[in-house]
Structure 1
Amino acid sequence: MKKTLLIVTMFLLVFTSIFAGGSQEAAKPKQQDSLMLAHDWAAKAGLNQGVSSQELYKKALETEGGKVVVYSISSRMARVKAAFEADYPGMTVESYDISSNDMATKLRTEYEAGIRTADVIHSKEQNGEYLMEFFAKGILHNYQPASIFGNVDPQYLKDLTPLYFETDWWFYNTSVYQESPISNWWDITKPEWKGKFIIQNPLGTVSYMAIITTMVEHADEMASAYKACYGKDIVLAKDEPTAAHAWIKRVLANDPIIMDSNNEVIKAVGEGTTSALIGYAPSSKYREKTDKGWNIDVNPAVMVPMSGVPFMNFVAVVNEAPHPYGAQLLIRYMLGDENGNGKGIQPFNTIGGWTVRPETKGAEGNIPFQAMPLWNLNYEYIYDNLQDVQDYWYQFR
């Protein structure tokens, strides 16, 4: 009886293994077919043809009723909508303001349910999620006509279609400090900064964790930065695999003030004239110096080994979008049209943001993009390693 049961069990295990393997092998052609269909749709929609704005305008009116739907992470799309509809009579932009944390979930849920609402997506790539789970699967398509992107540095077009870049900076209060009080990421591990620096919670903020994961990728540079800061080589503890991990552990031991939003960070630093705190926040918050009169300033050029990473705000066409001609027309408009300085780019061309087109005149008073020491994001590395880095942070939080 036992022998019979053993034979039956072994048969079931072998059968299950073969069946599972067969299912996996069957899934691969299905995924390949889906990707091929997506590429066919993109070709038929003319995403590779470089049709002019006027031709797209005509086709959008004649075949799509002049409608285009955009999901955007920026409330500034309202200004783009108003200008676009004024410049292209008969066109209607249906714009949805969606947080960056919710965008991918909404898009994925709708797409898998067979719902095709959005034509254009404007979001921010931070951890490789869009590249690996949307573009690689044919859910999103790049649209990069030569008349718009012909003069753009090819490195910015390799993965996604860039609208503009933002980064993060260490802010300080100008009533307390005449210049940046720190110039090295290791400075905030010193005793004199204990409890005096603010960051947004990385466990709930993908961009912060992406920066820290990039530190791990560049752990050798973090080790060199330690020596520049302390004048000696770093000695790692047993629970510090690299200098970047040591930075995480020692920063958390130095009592950082952790806040839930970057609005709280910049307010705590810049409101009033007495705050001796420094805070790490998006470069876009530099606008609060003018908008709210806060006493803030930055000097990212002095930071060692880097001031941050460039986060790309990208635009994409959704596969099987209901209005592909309108989508292409809107993207061209958002990039400033053929001359790069049209009304569509103006809402995004502000202090703390950088467009990629050399034709576009940068925002007055902006720190030059090339003046900042930045680590480029390795999306595949972040996608594969972010969770491990997050678990390490959680261990010492």
Structure 2
Amino acid sequence: MVSRTRTTRRPAERRHRLLAAGVLATLAVAACAPSTATHGTDATDAAAIAEPVIDTAFDLAALTAAAKKEGSVTVYDSTGDIKKVAEAFETKYGIKTTGVKSDVGDTLEKMTREAQAKNVTIDLTLYENGPTLVGQLLPQKTVYTWIPADVADQIDESNRNPLMVLSKANVWIYNPAVFPRGCPVDNLWDLTSPEWKGKVTLQDPLGKPNIVEWFNQMGSTYDEELRTAYKANSGQDLKTTESSAAKEWVKQLAKNSPVLTSADDDVSAAVAAPNQKEPRIGLVSIAKFRDVAGKGYKMKVCDTLKPYVGYQYPKFGAIATGSKHPNAAKLFLRFVLTAEGITPEMGSGGISGSNAVPPSKNNPPGLNDWSRQLMKFDSSKLLADFRDAQTMQDHWRLNHR
């Protein structure tokens, strides 16, 4: 059982202090890391540095032979499914492959330190934090984007810089046993109402980078949709002193005593665990829908929620500049751009960055049209998200009750 905010505030404050210390440590690492550019202070320069390398002379047979000579490859990812991908790659090519589950913050710090020490052990990463990828790792040349020519035309221009290998989703869920008539809310602004005070649960945004990024992307890309939803819900135009409708929504949600957790497992349990009777709404990764069969959870997507039922968050592929196994890293990256390679990460849903790979057959019921139902992060705004992350974190922290 997840306790309400009032009983968890002290641990949350300790987490916030630790997170703040982690941010300072990361900034300190970034300051001494090798770099030929500023830390994302000029969007034009950062975009030029991050320009992807399209290998026009690509030869799969030659790359495979060179990769086998290197003998091994290590890849870091934020999901344990990377171990399944590693096993599939090793089986196919006979190259010893190590897949490591690692939080994006830990991966960022380790790759930065390894680049500084010129002792690289992580050959490539499948990385979910786009802002720090374009704001730190790419401009500092800790990693680079490589695209083989034989699959380049299968990847949309908007997904090349940086290279998106997979899109997953976070969605709002409800318990159909508690609400048999369907999702009890039909507008995102409902979650800020007194009726839902203390009944909305999600991961603590201060410990989940893609939630903070979602807040920022709402303001930069979906402001009009959010204002339209407000008027549809209240009959009035939104009046706010905040710089965007998103910042107003974030403020109101933070003040509405949301139940914060450290993991999606806790969110899904609070909403959908067997015998759960409390009326709650939760925000979780679609990966948690595996618990419907595995644990007997009762959960459904709030598929009528406006202006969207959740958001897509991308996973990018990047190769370490100082990799000791660069050919194996390239071969692995190409592998995850194929159905054979990315399917192990799509067991609980998702959409590949390659148009040649069909969407997962395991996307949860009710999530049928990602382009219409989900907010999509705009890669051209990632640098702005990097700059604005701390401001949005502070905005949440100051308003959270």
TM-score tier, shorter chain, comes to: 0.7 to 0.9
Confirm whether residue 60 of structure 1 aligns to residue 61 of structure 2.
no
Tell me which residue corresponds to 1:31.
36
| Letter in structure 2 aligned against 1:168 | N
**Unmatched 5+ stretches in structure 1:** 1-29, 33-38
Higher alpha-carbon deviation: 258-267 or 368-377: 368-377
- CA distance 1:373–1:309, change in 2 (3 Å): closer
Percent identical among aligned pairs is 25
Equivalent residue for 1:320? 322
Task: Determine the C-alpha separation between the residues in 2 that align with 1:52 and 1:369.
Answer: 34
| Distance in 2 separating the partners of 1:250 and 1:57 | 54
Matched residues in 1 for 2:244 and 2:357: separation?
41
- Per-residue CA deviation, residues 152-184 of structure 1 (Å, 9 max, x unaligned), is 222111x21222111211011111223222222
2:212 and 2:225 mapped to 1: Cα distance?
18
Please report how far the alpha carbon of residue 295 of structure 1 lies from its aligned counterpart in structure 2 after TM superposition. 0.4
Q: 1:376 maps to which residue?
A: 377
Match for 2:310: what amino acid? G
The 1:248–1:72 alpha-carbon spacing in structure 2 relative to 1, beyond 3 Å, is closer
The whole-number CA distance in structure 2 between the counterparts of 1:334 and 1:50 is 20
- The question of whether the paired residues in 1 share the 8 Å contact of 2:104 and 2:129 is answered with no
Alpha carbons of structure 1 residues 369 and 244: separation in structure 2 relative to 1, 3 Å: closer
**Cα distance, 1:241 vs structure 2:** 4.5
Provide Cα deviations, 1:366-385, integer angstroms capped at 9, x if missing partner.
Answer: 23432423142321221122
Q: What SS is found at the alignment partner of 1:167? A: strand
- In 2, Cα distance between equivalents of 1:188 and 1:374: 17
Q: In the alignment, does 2:54 pair up with 1:51? A: no
1:72-125: CA deviation from partner (whole Å, max 9, x where unpaired): 222112222222222223x11133322223110111111112212121111112
* 1:314 shift after superposition: 1.4
Q: Who is 1:257 aligned against?
A: 259
Runs of 5+ consecutive residues of structure 2 not aligned to the other structure: 1-34, 38-47
Instruction: Determine if contact 1:68/1:323 at 8 Å carries over to the other structure.
Output: yes
Instruction: Indicate the SS of the match to 1:322.
Output: coil
- Name 2:129's counterpart in structure 1: 125
Asked if 2 retains the 8 angstrom alpha-carbon contact of 1:141 and 1:318, the reply is yes
Distance (whole Å) between structure 2 residues aligned to residue 67 and residue 260 of structure 1: 34
Give the total of aligned pairs: 346
**1:47-126 equivalence runs, <5 A:** 48-62=55-69, 64=70, 66-89=71-94, 91-126=95-130
SS in 1 for 2:310: coil
Counterpart check, 1:354 vs 2:357: no
Cα 1:349/1:295, change in 2 over 3 Å: same
Q: Which residue of 2 aligns with 1:334?
A: 336
Q: Deviations over 1:318-350 (max 9, x none)?
A: 1121111111111122222xxxx32x2221123
CA distance in 2, matches of 1:245, 1:123: 26
Q: Tell me, what secondary structure is at the counterpart of 1:250?
A: helix
Partner residue of 2:43? none
Match of 2:361 in 1: 364
Alpha-carbon distance change, 350 to 149 in structure 1, aligned in 2, over 3 angstroms:
farther
* 1:279 is aligned to 2:286: no
1:345 aligned residue (342, 346, 354): 342
Distance of 1:80 and 1:225 partners within structure 2: 40
Q: SS state of the match for residue 107, structure 1?
A: helix
Instruction: Tell me the amino acid that sits aligned with residue 56 of structure 1.
Output: L
Are the equivalent residues in 2 in contact too, given 1:47–1:328 (CA < 8 A)?
Answer: no
Letter in 1 for 2:358: K
Report whether the alignment pairs 1:145 with 2:148: yes
Q: Tell me the TM-score normalized by structure 1.
A: 0.80
Which amino acid in the other structure matches residue 101 of structure 2? Answer: D
- Cα 1:242–1:151 change in 2 (3 A) is closer
